Amino acid sequence: MVKKIAFLFPGQGSQYIGMGKKILEAYPETKEIFEQTDEICKMSISQLCFEGPMEVLTLTENLQPAITAVSLACLKVLNNAGIQPYISAGHSLGEYSALVSAGVLDSLDAVRLVKVRGALMHRESTKKPGAMAAIIGLDIEKVQEIVDKAKDHGVLSVANHNSREQIVITGEHEPLKKAINIAKENKAKAIPLKVSGAWHSELIKDAVSDFRQFMEDIPFSRPSSKIIFNATAKEENDPELIKDIMANQLISPVRWYESVINMLDQGVDTFVEVGPKRVLVGLMKKIVPSRSSVKIFNVEDPEGVEKLIKAI
Strand order in the sheet with 156-163: 156-163, 166-171, 131-136, 189-192
Q: Would you tell me how many other CB atoms lie within 10 Å of the CB of residue 198? A: 28
Pairing, β 166-171 against β 131-136 = antiparallel
DSSP of 42-84: TS-HHHHHHH--HHHHTSHHHHHHHHHHHHHHHHHHHHHTT--
Report the chain's C-alpha Rg in angstroms: 19
Q: Extract the runs of DSSP E, i.e. beta strands, from the chain.
A: 5-9, 87-90, 131-136, 156-163, 166-171, 189-192, 226-227, 270-274, 295-299
Catalytic residues: 92, 200
Angular region, 275: left φ>0, alpha ψ -120 to 50, beta rest: left
CA 281 to chain centre: 13
C-alpha distances out from residue 91 to 10, 39, 219, 296, 311, Å: 5, 25, 22, 16, 25
Query: 169 near 156, Cβ under 8 Å?
Result: yes
For the chain, report the end-to-end CA distance as a whole number of angstroms: 7
Judged on CB neighbours under 10 Å (0-12, 13-18, 19+), 217 is exposed
Closest listed residue to residue 104, CA positions, set 81, 85, 121: 85
